[in-house]
Structure formats: structure tokens, C-alpha cells
Structure 1
Amino acid sequence: MLSSKEIREKWLKYFESKDHLIVETKSLVPINDPSLLWINSGVATLKDYFSGKKIPPKNRLTNSQKSLRTNDIENVGITTRHHTMFEMLGNFSIGDYFKNEAIEYAYDFLLNELKLEKDKLYFTYFEEDEETKRKWMSLGIDESHIIKGTMKTNFWDIGSGPCGPCTEIFFDRGEKFDKRGVELLKNDEENDRFIEIWNLVFSQFNNDGENNYTELAQKNIDTGAGFERLVSIMQNAPTNYDTDLFLPIIKEIEKLTPYKYKTENYFIKDENQEKINIKFKIIADHIRAIVNAINDGVEPSNVSRGYIIRRLIRRSYRAGLQLEIKEKTFLHTLVTIVKNSLPYDINVKKVSKIIKEEELLFSQTIEQGHKLLEKELENKNQEFDFAIAFKLFETYGFPIELTQEILLEKGVKLDISQFEKYKQMHAELSRGLKKVAMKTAINSLAYVKGEISNFIGYNLHEKTAKIVFLANSEKELKITEKDEISYVIFDETVFYATGGGQKHDQGYILQDNRKIQIIEVFKDKFRNNVHVIKGILDKDQPVQLFVDKENRIKLERNHSSTHLLFKSLREQYGMEIKQLGSDNNENRLTFDFPLNKKPTEQEVFEIENRVRNYIKSKTDRYYIETTIKEAEKMNAIMTLEESEYMDPTNVRLVEFKNITVDLCGGTHIKNTHLIENFKIVSTENKGTGIFRIKAITSNELIDKYLDGEIEKETLLLNNLVEKNIKIKKDYQFDLEKTDDKEKQLEIIKNSIEKVRQDYKNIMKEIDNTEIEINVIEEVINNHKYFINFDIPVQNLKNQAVILREKNPNITFILGAKTGSKTLIIVSSKIQDSKMVLDKILNSISGNGGGNKILAQGSINDEKNAIEKIKGIL
């Protein structure tokens, strides 16, 4: 049996031996690709090579790319193969080998590397692609194992652009999974017997958008093999979850819950066990996606990617509640086991901290939701107003399913079907299929044969220009269509193209009083600035170009601040600090650098303060055009990111006198004082010894950020103070006030630490306080009991332990009133405490768990509860 690690290594090593370049897995967050919310396939990170935007490092590539899809999140845990995060194994040819070689590689790898039985493999092909059928047969595949497919099943087509037939490879797991046979493949029916493990796409045609197909001059291969599916087959597992990718996580979850996951239930079909298994699967799947997304820089929030991660955390947390996990936070404890299952580094400390904070927030949300529900239920209607249920979901993040469950317990109906119409507003957040990844392929750029444009926008924002290239994605045009995406190159342009870490300019084109907004600007392989537009342009008429000056200055602030930050880091840690990456847009900047330890708070303060001093120095910016050799003599700082976009015989330097001089093709602020202000908002670990600083500039953005942080931290502080007051009535705390927002935020954060320490001291005081209790035992069925429901809630557990140790021959049943429930603890050395608690819970509605010497839970308030308990003991 091969491990998942061995299977992954076999794939990469095999294709490396076939002259493919191994491409390391990339972040789940797409870089400079607004068309995708997540990297959702193996080809998604390579599409610029296929579209012609970039020259590939090699025409043969292979990877194992982590991917994320949440468009069918509801199926995760229910089906055998749905996942949010998964790995896609791929081998790609960009104008190199084609159909014959791709099929031969697949056959060779499956039979000779993985040792799969040929008779268990089945293949589908496009009905008009007889060449593929003949190729499989030439390799010894029996014709009965080759199934004809249609345009619907075996032709990859996005409506406009590159397309072509595909051949899918299936593995037959046998009759124990489904008595039906090959008709499942012929009828394209979903099943657990024939598992699709590999899809080979032959990109050989171009669709003009009206289903007219022509041969592509450059044919490509794009294949994808499901890693989790291959592992499942190689490990003879009934589902993907019963492999070494998920079982270690599931075993870790089992330590937290009284329930067990049972692999064999796939065949036994016990309904109750299936419900339990689903909850384990949800947590095991989601935590992998959560850990990887957060490690790649996404934090839980109410928008975009952050919304999805928050949803995954809360769905997992709720599954934990259903498994009766008692810990207030538990997901964060699974980060290490997830890390151990992956072939790349995870910052366990950072990721765990973020997950734990979100869990704590959600636990408070659940408490808030319960209170609001109880209040609304006072109306005692037979059907609950769905608008209120959705408000709980949208405003407080309270799961609609949890609302439904609580209402059902109260005998109140909720028409959950209404949720679908509300969900539509969020649906777009989780969309993004593989086909989208290749949708922006621009075949027409093949007609550009060299450098035909010049960027002159360093000091200019407006220009009259001529159009030298105009096309849609397929062909050159004289006039563009009103509603079609088009691509235009001017003889001269003032629009900066995305590059060197800086985002493209915004603005518009004016022609014959038609105003056309710039959607994007990127460089083609000849360094021409290609402008993406939507509107009517006539190639033969001149145009006027207008850069959005306000947006440009925001970009310049952040780009110049990146250089100042780089200088400050070198001052702080020495010249060994290198720029490993940067990303600047109108809202923020990020900077990646190597360091053997995370910067301390004091170091971050010094780095930030130094940049602010550079800003206050009011230093002018100068552009210098020279050669690489001359730049070296000037000790100019050169980064790999910048040098990619420059001709070594004609490079551009940006200089801030007596501060720094750097090789850079970007646009920059005229004087440092125009940056206004600088604030580091986070320092993250991006991998072993690599850190990322995220910062913002301008008085407006920093004021807005500080206001938000003050509001958030104040809310946290108030919650902590309220928590202390609940357990110590005379607890008081006064917050110092100041008009300096930076100082106020510092005061609040220091206060939070103080209040947390106060809480520890209060709890320590409670733990060391023994309440005087007159223990009067009762004998019931030959056992001695002491039952008392008047214990203060904060002393409940501590007193149960103290009394048990002092009176080892007595079973203690102690309770404390809290809201509409009574907390209850059973503590004994002579009986099984959990069995005693279970007896009570079987008679009085509630829930709980524990062990032989201490069990705890809660029961619904009932009249004469103590007498009822005595009667069942």
C-alpha cells in the first residue's frame, strides 16, 4: 500500500523524468487574477502561459497544486469524494507534445508506476475523436473498456476560446460498490463503483463564440488527476476520507468526543452512525481548507474569501457541537495534525491563533443567538418569522440550520426553503470552476510580433495616442464591439501595466466623445502594455488617454513606501535582508523578506517609525535611466521582481536622496511628504524563515483603520470586563481616554491584557476558596448520596472535587442554576459518575458527558428536580 506522500512523489518524479519542469504548489489566493476567487484547479496558476501573457519557463510542466472550491459545500461529508480543499495532479504541454504522448504517459504511469490492473481501467472519449480510441486500443485496451462520449461529457468548451475533446480514465472498484456495470459510464450516472481518476484535455480547436471551430496553430495538453481519489484507490479505502490524508485528523477529533468514526459503516449503512461519520468528515475536510487558506493570508471576515473561511469554521464548529465536543474551542488544536499531512510548511502558531479567536467569537455568537431566539419565542407563534432567522444568520453569523434545530425542539416551525432566495446574494463568493481558469486565454496576442509600444507615464497622466493593435481574444479588429472584451496597444501610453509588484493604473480612453473605462493593463511577452477594455474603438482614429490621478497617487504612495520600508528593514536587520516579493495596490502594500525569527513588537515599532521619519524628511524623488553596470556602481538595490521587467542595457532607477536608490520600473511619489503617513497593520509568517509585512499609507486610510481597530478592541475589552463582573460582582475597570488614536489603541490593548490577568487572578481566588457545606448524606439503594443544587456556579466543579476527596464513600450530585438550565456535576469514587449522570439525563431532558470520577452537563429546569433524581437513583 502506497502512502499519499509516495503517490505524490511518484507523480512528480515520473513527469520530471519525462522532461517536465516541476512547478511548486502556489498559494490558494490568485495573484493578479480578479477572475478567480480561489485557485480552483492545477491549471489555474499556469493560465498566463497558455494565454500567451507570459513565456513559460519550460513547455512541459507538472505540478501537484492545492485547490479550493466551495460551490457545493453542502455535499461535503455526505458524498464519498466532495472536498473543499483538494490537490490536483497535472501534466501540461504548451505547444510541445500532444495527444499520443499524453495518452502514453497516462497509460505508463497508471500501469507501471502505480501497478493498477489494466482490466480495472475504463476510458471515455469524444465520439468524433477516433484517433484517441485507436490510441487506447493500440496500447492493448479492450474495446469493451472504451466508452463513447458526447459533446456534453467529453468535449471541454467554454463557448469562446481554446477548446477540445477529452478522454477520461476511470477505475472499477467492483460489484461491492454497485451491482450495475459499465452502463453507469455509458449513461454518465453518478456512482461509487467507477471512479474518475484522470482527465486528459486536448486543446486543439478555437471556438469563435458561435460554435464555429478551427484548428489552433499551437495545440496544448491540460490534464488533471484527482490526488485524493488516487490515494483512496491505492489504499483500498471505501471513501477518500478513509485514507492517510484524513484518518489522522479524524483520530485526533475522536479524542475530543464520546463518538467514534467507523470506516466499515460505508457497507453496513447504519443511519445513526452515518450521521456521526458525516460530522467527522465535515470537520476533517474543512479544517484542511481553513488551515491552508489562513496560512496563505486569508483571515475570517464578512466579505469575499474571508466570508468563506468564516463559514467553514462555523460549519465545522457546529459539527463539533453535534458530536458533543465540550471544549469551547477545539478546531485550533487540529492545526498541527493537518500540517503533518501536507508536503509544505504551515505556520502553526499563527494559524491556530486566528482559528481560536474565530471560535471564541462564534461561541459568543451562539450565546447571543440563543438569547435573541428565546426573546422572539416569547410570542409563542406556531411558525417562526423567517426574516428574523435570516437576520440572525446575516448579522450575527448564526447558522440557519442551528436556528431550525432549536426551533424544532420548541415545537416551532421554520420554512427553511426560503433561505435559498437569500443565499443567492452570497453564491457568487464561492463560484469558480476550472473552465473559468482558461476563459481569459487571448489567442490574438500571437499576432503581436515584437515591441510596438512605449510607456511614457512616469510624469504624464494624459496623452493623445494612436492605436497600433486592436483585437478581441481571437482576431485583430478594425472596430470593436460595444459589449465585447477587447485588447488594445497604443504607440505610446500613460497607463502603467501591472508589474514589479505594482497594480495597473485606472482611467479611461476618449474617442469621438465615447468614454471607455480601462479594465486592466498587463504586459505581453514583448513588454508591450496591453489595455483591456469593453466598448467601441476604431483603430484608424486617434484617442486621448486619461489616467485616474487620484488612484495613481495612491498607487505611488504604496510603491514608494515599499522602497522606504525595504530601507528601514535593512537598517534594522542588516544588508542581508532581501525582497522576496511585494504587492502594491491603491489600498495597501505587502513586503516579503527572510528573517530567522519573527520581528518583535518593539522592532516593528522601530521599523514603522523610521519610515515615518523618511516621510517627514520631505525628500524628492528622482528617476535615473542607466545600465545595469552603472546601477551596480551606484550600489542600487536590485530585486528579482523588478529585473524581470527590465532591459539590462536600459534600466530605470528610483532615488530618494540619502535614503535609498533602487532598480524599479514602477511609478513613484514626487516627494516623501505626499505619502502623509505609514502604518504596519500586520506581520505574518509565510513559511520557514519568511515573513510578510502588510502596511497602509495616507492619513485617511490610517485614521479609518485605527477607528476600526479601536471599535473592535473596545468591544473585546467590554466583553472581558463583563465576564469578570459576572463572577465577581464588585469588579470595576476604568479606561483611560486620549485624543491620540494610536495611543488610545495601545491603551486598550494593554487594558485587555490587564483584564485577562484579573480574570486569572479571580479564578485562582475562587479555586482556592472552599465553601462551607454541611454534608448530610442520604442512603438510596444502598449507596450514599449528597444532593445539593444551591452551589454558586463559579464554585461548582471545584467544590465537587473537594467534597469527593474529603468524603470518598459518598457520591456527590451538585447543581447550579444558570439561565433556563441547571448545570449539574456528578463526582464519585465509589460509583461510575458518567453512568449516574446518564441515568439522570434519561429521565430529565439535557446533555452531558465525562468519566468515572467526574461527569458534568446541564438539565432543563423542572419543578422538584431533586426529588425526581432521588426517585431514579
Structure 2
Amino acid sequence: MEKYNLHEIRKKYLDFFENKGHLVTNSFSLVPKDDKNLLLIIAGMAPLKPYFLGTKKPPKNRMATCQKCVRTSDIENVGKTDRHGTFFEMLGNFSFGDYFKREAINWAWEFMTKQLNISKEKLWVSVYLDDDEAYNIWNNEIGVSKNKIVRLGKEDNFWELEVGPCGPSSEIYIDRGEKYSCGDENCKPGCECDRFVEVWNLVFSQFDKDELGNYSELLNPNIDTGMGLERITAVLNDADNIFEIEPIRTIIKEIEKITNKKYKNNNKDDVSIRVITDHIRAICFLVSDGVIPSNEGRGYVLRRLIRRASRHGKLLGIKNSFLSNLSDVVIENWKEFYSNLEDKRLQIKKIIKIEEDKFEETIDQGIEILKNYIDDMKNNNETILNGYKAFKLYDTYGFPLDLTKEILEDEKLDVDEEQFNLEMENQKNRARSARDKDNKNNWDSDADFNFKINTKTRFEGYEKLSTESKVIAIIKGSQSIDTLSQNEEGYVLLENSPFYAESGGQVGDKGIFKNDKFKAYVIDTQKKNDKLLHLVNVGHGHLKIGDSLEAHVDRNRRLDIARNHSATHLLHKALKNTLGQHVNQAGSLVTDDRLRFDFTHFESLTKDELNKIEREVNEKIWNSLGVEVVETSINKAKDMGATALFDEKYGEKVRVVKMDDYTIELCGGTHVNNISQIGMFKILTESGIASGVRRIEAITGRKAYEFNLSLNDKLNTLSDVLKTNKDNLIDKAHDIMDEVRNLQKQIDSLNSKLANSKLDNILENVYNINGVNVVTKKIDGIDIDGLRQLGDKIKEKLDKAVIVLSTEKNGKVNFIATATEDAVKSGIHCGNIIREVAKITGGGGGGRPNMAQAGGNESSKIEEALDLVKSLVESQLNK
């Protein structure tokens, strides 16, 4: 067989089927679109499911792809076996009601024998047990001998789901020769040995399976094929596994350079090298498709891959982060076919580096604690780690359960996952209880409204802010009533209303109901059980069922809310433009006072990035972009390019809010008519609220104007205090700070001299414990640096000594402990001493055997803490 690298085979395949009239498309994203059943794309046909199911029309009835895929179901076996991997590319040609078995089989044979030049003698095929049609095509038309056509059962050669399109399949095998055989002279496809390798699966979708398990013929049968690119490349190169083919081998070569370890010299090292080689490809492709590390969903898949690869790097002796640099090898070798790898090179490297560095902060501490647990288990002849300990590792140190399991498995140990899950659930319940305790929302306290009326309020608030209406229901507490009197509060349901109910992060409207007999203040508007409810307080008169009234929304408040809501759309787009397309909305709150926008991103924003985002939003406001609202179907909204959380549930009709050509989003909220009405946009804060999720709070319009007025007032006051004008404030502040620093240096110098003057007095109070000189002293008026310097000077004057000093400043207690080398050799450990001493003052700390420091907050207990030193030294020397 001729040898080809992975890229050559991919090109041959796609060119071949393009010449057969197929539309060749780029690989779809690893993130499924419009398929909430899939976390990631796991098969070549997965992105094409709507075409097979008939829910969408394909761009052409013949298509061919090379689809990137990620599977993590067998992640624990990656590196340990030759066949398991998380990332792979799947070649596939597809027919949607066009050609069928004859063409699929003939083209597959042509490609294998003429394009890849595989000897016909090496090829075997399998067909479904009852599929005589496929059998006859292989035998009579292709010329495969009967003894090389194997009939297999439903488990091997029939593809189906619970319901829907399904059908028999036919597989092509390559005979690798007797050296891979099990030795059975009747060995053939279907045997568990490594001789016959299945490389191409042709699925003939010709039936429709119903809920009762009945099969009916499809009017337009389909073809779905799949051939693993890495597998066929390995077989053609007579390689033992996919890690020995190019360009995957280039990743291994780079790992060899980083580690100074040779692949195939040591089995344990080989496992780690293969894990890293596999995972780095998956990591790069996931990040390039917009996935960022998080604690759930596909973000957790990425985090897990990075952490596993990082840990295996440590097992190979790599001390620092390395995956970011290793990603360059993947990008360089795959960018020709996957151009977005090059386009997002900096983003890929940055996200990997940040995540790996985060893991570096916790992994060493977590591994050390887990090692102690393992030692304890072995000493006690235990094989199952307590689930609470595993949970503590996760909850306190960020150490993932799967990594705990993996390390335990290396030691032939296990973990009590049931107890771990119980602890996890208890934590969630505690958090839920805390939220419930803090929840003062009246709507939640009366969540179970008992309406005996099916009428829905007709919402008119998009077009008008005032309307005439009629009361059709009143609720007080959770009971229907007929009347609300003066100063009473209740929920009112109208026939029609201009009041917007809280939804999509936008708060509900406020305003008034009135007629000649009463006036009621609308405090809030919400939806419950599909009913639009107005929470009202009657100012005077009586409000009754059947009353006609005028409903008036607070116009200024609504406009403030609309300004903030429209600004969130501009902000979302500006964030994507500045930070990258991985940015997605993760929550929002829109009130009349401000807007809050949560979004996916992997690090805090720089001052320059925030300025750029703020500037871009304001530029759009100054350009007076028009706002257009269109009601359409969800599919047409997607075709328009509307941004939305498409795994959310939407009705048949959706609202698309379009701001010129700058941003198009699905949104049910209220907006300004022209972006210029926002007036001004000002970012107040940017912060992290969860792993991989950031939050921006901002103001617009009147609030932004009031913010600037307040800022100006503060500048005027500051100018008066510092006795300068506003233009010179910064220079004046620098002058004052320089003066303060100089004065502080003088104070510190004087305090240091004062402390040193006490040196002789301190040395007169040395006590000896088993040949070690011990000094303890509280020193007033000195900072931690002065304390360390004094400790060093005392150490210079003494042989075999341990010194523990303390100082207190502004209520904060500081300790230092230092020891001579000969004292350390005698058993002294300053870190352990200082830790126990600091506990007395309500603090903590630690350090090395010869130097440590700690803090505390109970200055009244300093002397008590220092008195403990003597017994601690004695215990260390007596060990």
C-alpha cells in the first residue's frame, strides 16, 4: 500500500467526491447548532441531521465533508490503548434522496482501489444479514468474492435510533496480514483481533422506524458514510496507532524536545505523551470554535482536557505551563485546512495559558493533600477514599473529581462517588436555602395563583404607553376577590395593558391606573402562569372587577429602561468585536437605573479594552443608528443572522431587534426608536462572577449625565481641599504622595534605629533550650520589613538560634521567625512554629524551616502567643 500523510488523504477524498457532483463544505463547528441533544459534534453526520430528518433543506442533495469531532466517553483510556482518542476527523459523503446503494458502493470501491491504490486482495466487506441488495452489488457488480463478503447481524451492521430514519450498513475492512491475526484459520471481519480493521462504514437509510418498532420504506432513502481520517492514514502507513502518523507525530517530537524524553522508551511516559498529543488537538479546535473553560457543559470538557494534559506534563517532569506553546505545533500543521486556527492563534494560546496557570495554582497543593490521603489509606489498609475528603479537595482546592479518580486509579484505589455526590447535593441545597432566605420578592411568596379565568391580557406596550382597559380579575394573597380598597395591595389582571411584564432580564413597568372614582399605583408588572399581573396599591377610592380605567405607564422610567436595554445590544456587539466571537451573553438585568450584562470570557478586561468597548458603543450612539423591529419565524430570524440563545424555547413568532447593520438580536424587550436617544453610555464596573463569566455594569442617558455632574462636583471639592485648580489636580496629588513616601521612609528609618538600639537589651533576654538559643520579643513602632532586618541582626550575634519577633500596627499583628542553619539541622522548623503562634492571635501563616512569617488580628494575645514558642521549640528538638 502507498503511504500518505493525513492531509493528502483528506484532499484526495474531498476532491474525489467533488468530481462526483458533491458539494464540499468546510467542517462545521464542534459546537452543535440548533441541536440541544448534543454537547459536542461526535460524528460526521451529526451537523447534517436536519437534512436527514427533513426539517431543513440541504444546499445540495449530494454533500461531502471532513468533519472535526470530539468524544470524551472513553477519556480514561486515552493514551493507554492504541485506538482511543478524544479528537478525530471524519470523512463522509452524503446523499439526501439522491443516489443510493449502487453509487455509494461503487464510489467507495473506486476511491479505495484507484485513489488510494489499495490492493483489492487486501479488502473485505461486511453487509447486514438480510441485505441481499448490497451483497449482490458487492459480489456481482464490484467483483468481491463471496468468501470476502461477511454477513453480520443487527448489532454490527444496522444503524438506528429510537425512532426515525434508519437502515442497514456495509463496512469496508483492510486485511493487515497474519502478523496481526489471532491465529484462527477462519479469522475474518467480525473477529476481535487486530487483523481486519474497519475503515469505512456505508449507512443506507431506507426505513422509517415508528414508536412501536415498525419499519416502513422511506420514499427518498439517504446515504450516510463515515471514514475516520486518522484510522485510514494509520492503516495505509502500517502504523500501530494514530500517534505514529504525520503530522500527529510532529506533536510527539515537540513533546520529546520539551521533556528530553524519547517516545517508546518507557511505557508509563508513553501514556502521558499520547494523552498530551491527543488532548492538545482537541483543546486547540475547541477553543477555535468559541469554547472557553468553565465548570459545566462543553466548557468543562475543555477544562478537563487542559487539566489532564497539564497533569501528564507534570508526570513527564515539566514544571511550568507548556500547552500554550505546544498549541503552535497544532496550528502550524492544521491551519491550511482549518484557517480559523491561524485566525484565532493568539486567542487559543491566551485561553490555554490562563487556564493552565490557574490549574498550576491549585494542582500542587491538591496533589500533596491527596498523597497524604493515599498514605493514610494504605496505612489503614483501605481501598476507598472517603467521599467527603474528595469533595473537600474539589470544594476548597478546586481539585476535580475525575483527576482524583485518575490518581487513585494509578494506585489501584477508588473513591466513594456516592458520598461525593451527596456532599455536592448538600452544598447546592445550602446555597438554595440561603437564596430562599434572602428572597423577599412578593411574586415568589404567592407563586401559586388560582385563576378561574382563561382570558389573557392583550399586551399593547410596544406601540403605546397609555390605553383604556377593563379589570377582569383581582388577587389578594392567593385568593380571588372583587374589590381592592384604599391602601390595600393586590394583583390586577386587565383585558389589555401597555405595561411590560418582567422578562428577558428587563424589569416590569410602573405607573398608574385611574378613573373618576379611584387612583391606584402600579408598583410592578410580572407574568405568572401566562397571566400579565399588575401589583397595585390603591391610593384612594375602590378598584373593582369590571371597572373601566385608564392605564398609564411611567413614561420617563420606561424610556430609561429602553435606553439601557438598547445599550446592552450595543455592548454585546462591542464585546465580540473587541474580545472575540467566543463572547456570548450569560445573563442580564435591565432597570431604569442601570444595566448589568454577564458574558463568557476567560480573564478580566484591561483598561484599554474597557475604553475601546465604551468608545465603540458611544460612537454608534453618536451615529444615530436606526432601530427596526421585525416579527418573523425563528428560522427566518436565524437566516437574518440574529443572535440568540437558540437552545432556549421560542414561539412560532419572534421579535428581531435590528440596529442598522451593526447588531441583530432576538429580543422581546422594549427599545428606543433611534440609538441617539440613549444619549451617552458609561461603564461603571467590570468583574468576574464565576469561572469563565464576567460582568459589566453601566449607565446611560440621564443617569450618565448625573454621574458626570457628581464627578465634576467631587473634582471641584477636591480642588478646594488641595488648594489648586482642576487642571493641576494630578500633579498636586503626585507631589503629596512623594512627600508622604519621603516622610514614611524617615519614620521607618527612625523606627529601625530605635529597634536596633534595643538590640543589646534583647540579647540580654536569651534563653537556652537543649543547646539552642531562643529569642522572643514584641517590638513596637516597626513594620514587617524592619522586623525581618532586626531578626537577621540578632541571628548574626548568636550561634544555633531561633528568633521569633512580633509587632502590631493599626490593629494588625505581624510575626517573623528566623533560625540559623545549625538550629534547623537540629530539628527547628520556623514555618511550623509561626503557624501555631499565629493561631493564638486568630491568624495564620507559614514558611520555610529557616524563615517564616505570619499575621493575626488579636493584638491583646501577642504575649500569650510568644510564650508558646518555648514549648514548640522543645517539642521540635525532642523529636
Q: Could you say which TM-score interval applies, normalised by the shorter chain?
A: 0.5 to 0.7
2:38 paired with 1:32 = no
1:160-209: CA deviation from partner (whole Å, max 9, x where unpaired): 111100011111111222243585555552x3221111111111101112
2:270 paired with 1:277 = yes
2:611 paired with 1:608 = no
CA contact (8 A) 2:89 2:229 kept: yes
2:359 corresponds in structure 1 to: 362
The match for 1:330 among 318, 322, 326 is 322
2:349 paired with 1:352 = yes
Query: Could you tell me how far 1:642 is from its partner in structure 2?
Result: 6.2
Q: CA separation in 1, counterparts of 2:399 and 2:302?
A: 15
1:388 corresponds in structure 2 to: 389
Partner of 2:68, secondary structure, is: strand
Q: CA separation in 2, counterparts of 1:229 and 1:385?
A: 41
Partner of 2:283, secondary structure, is: helix
1:155 corresponds in structure 2 to: 158
1:767-822: CA deviation from partner (whole Å, max 9, x where unpaired): xxxxx9xxxxxxxxxxxxxxx98999xxxxxxxxxxxxxxxxxxxxxxxx986999
- Structure label with greater radius of gyration: 2
CA contact (8 A) 1:124 1:147 kept: yes
Q: CA separation in 2, counterparts of 1:226 and 1:821?
A: 59
Q: Label 1:188 to 1:625 Cα distance change in 2 as closer, same or farther (>3 A).
A: closer
1:72-119: CA deviation from partner (whole Å, max 9, x where unpaired): 101111221211011000100011111111111101100000011111
2:495 corresponds in structure 1 to: none
Stretch of structure 1 that moved more, 312-321 or 139-148: 312-321
The match for 1:202 among 186, 201, 204 is 204
Query: Could you tell me how far 1:387 is from its partner in structure 2?
Result: 2.8
CA contact (8 A) 2:405 2:415 kept: no
Query: Could you tell me how far 1:142 is from its partner in structure 2?
Result: 1.1
The match for 1:294 among 275, 278, 287 is 287
1:307 corresponds in structure 2 to: 300
The match for 1:175 among 173, 178, 203 is 178
Q: CA separation in 1, counterparts of 2:308 and 2:574?
A: 43
2:257 paired with 1:255 = yes
Query: Could you tell me how far 1:26 is from its partner in structure 2?
Result: 1.9
The match for 1:141 among 141, 144, 166 is 144
Stretch of structure 1 that moved more, 366-375 or 395-404: 395-404
2:227 counterpart letter in structure 1: A
Q: CA separation in 2, counterparts of 1:248 and 1:789?
A: 49
1:102 counterpart letter in structure 2: A
Query: Could you tell me how far 1:371 is from its partner in structure 2?
Result: 5.1
1:833-869: CA deviation from partner (whole Å, max 9, x where unpaired): xxxxxxxxxxxxxxxxxxxxxxxxxxxxxx9xxxxxx
Partner of 1:176, secondary structure, is: helix
Query: Could you tell me how far 1:305 is from its partner in structure 2?
Result: 1.4
The match for 2:313 among 320, 333, 353 is 320
1:605 counterpart letter in structure 2: N
1:348 counterpart letter in structure 2: R
Q: Label 1:61 to 1:387 Cα distance change in 2 as closer, same or farther (>3 A).
A: same
Q: Map of 1:120-135 to 2, 5 A cutoff?
A: 120-135=122-137
Stretch of structure 1 that moved more, 556-565 or 600-609: 556-565
Q: Label 1:661 to 1:79 Cα distance change in 2 as closer, same or farther (>3 A).
A: closer
Partner of 2:360, secondary structure, is: helix
Q: CA separation in 2, counterparts of 1:211 and 1:67?
A: 30
1:477 corresponds in structure 2 to: none
Query: Could you tell me how far 1:368 is from its partner in structure 2?
Result: 2.0
The match for 1:22 among 17, 21, 24 is 24
Say how many residue pairs are matched: 545
CA contact (8 A) 1:66 1:86 kept: yes
Q: Map of 1:178-577 to 2, 5 A cutoff?
A: 178-180=181-183, 185=188, 187-189=190-192, 191-262=193-264, 273-325=266-318, 327-342=319-334, 343-344=337-338, 345-346=340-341, 347-370=344-367, 372-373=369-370, 381-383=380-382, 385-393=386-394, 395-398=396-399, 415-416=413-414, 418-419=416-417, 459=462, 560-561=566-567, 564=570
Q: Label 1:248 to 1:790 Cα distance change in 2 as closer, same or farther (>3 A).
A: farther
Q: CA separation in 1, counterparts of 2:90 and 2:10?
A: 10
Aligned-residue CA RMSD (Å): 5.3
Q: CA separation in 1, counterparts of 2:76 and 2:258?
A: 24
Q: Map of 1:103-114 to 2, 5 A cutoff?
A: 103-114=105-116
Q: CA separation in 1, counterparts of 2:110 and 2:43?
A: 24
Query: Could you tell me how far 1:606 is from its partner in structure 2?
Result: 3.6
Query: Could you tell me how far 1:621 is from its partner in structure 2?
Result: 5.0
Query: Could you tell me how far 1:47 is from its partner in structure 2?
Result: 1.6
| TM-score, L = length of structure 1 | 0.53
Q: Label 1:141 to 1:298 Cα distance change in 2 as closer, same or farther (>3 A).
A: same
Q: CA separation in 1, counterparts of 2:158 and 2:386?
A: 47
Query: Could you tell me how far 1:236 is from its partner in structure 2?
Result: 1.9
1:89 corresponds in structure 2 to: 91
Q: Label 1:614 to 1:17 Cα distance change in 2 as closer, same or farther (>3 A).
A: closer
CA contact (8 A) 1:618 1:673 kept: no
Query: Could you tell me how far 1:408 is from its partner in structure 2?
Result: 11
1:51 counterpart letter in structure 2: L
Query: Could you tell me how far 1:660 is from its partner in structure 2?
Result: 7.7
2:53 counterpart letter in structure 1: S
Q: Label 1:61 to 1:655 Cα distance change in 2 as closer, same or farther (>3 A).
A: closer
Q: Label 1:292 to 1:181 Cα distance change in 2 as closer, same or farther (>3 A).
A: farther
Q: CA separation in 2, counterparts of 1:240 and 1:115?
A: 20
1:145 counterpart letter in structure 2: K
Q: CA separation in 2, counterparts of 1:424 and 1:151?
A: 40
CA contact (8 A) 2:573 2:663 kept: no
Q: CA separation in 2, counterparts of 1:562 and 1:119?
A: 65
Q: CA separation in 1, counterparts of 2:278 and 2:149?
A: 34
1:520 corresponds in structure 2 to: none
1:47 corresponds in structure 2 to: 49
2:180 counterpart letter in structure 1: F
1:641 counterpart letter in structure 2: G
1:391 counterpart letter in structure 2: K
CA contact (8 A) 2:283 2:302 kept: yes
Unmatched tracts of structure 1, length 5 or more: 266-272, 427-455, 462-501, 504-513, 518-552, 574-578, 593-598, 627-637, 644-650, 683-692, 701-730, 732-771, 773-787, 793-816, 823-862, 864-873
Could you tell me the percent identity over the aligned residues? Answer: 39
Q: CA separation in 2, counterparts of 1:382 and 1:198?
A: 50
1:779 corresponds in structure 2 to: none
Partner of 1:339, secondary structure, is: helix
Partner of 1:135, secondary structure, is: helix
2:322 counterpart letter in structure 1: F
Partner of 2:399, secondary structure, is: coil
2:482 corresponds in structure 1 to: none
CA contact (8 A) 1:111 1:117 kept: yes
Query: Could you tell me how far 1:608 is from its partner in structure 2?
Result: 2.4
Q: CA separation in 2, counterparts of 1:354 and 1:157?
A: 39
Query: Could you tell me how far 1:235 is from its partner in structure 2?
Result: 1.8
Query: Could you tell me how far 1:670 is from its partner in structure 2?
Result: 2.8
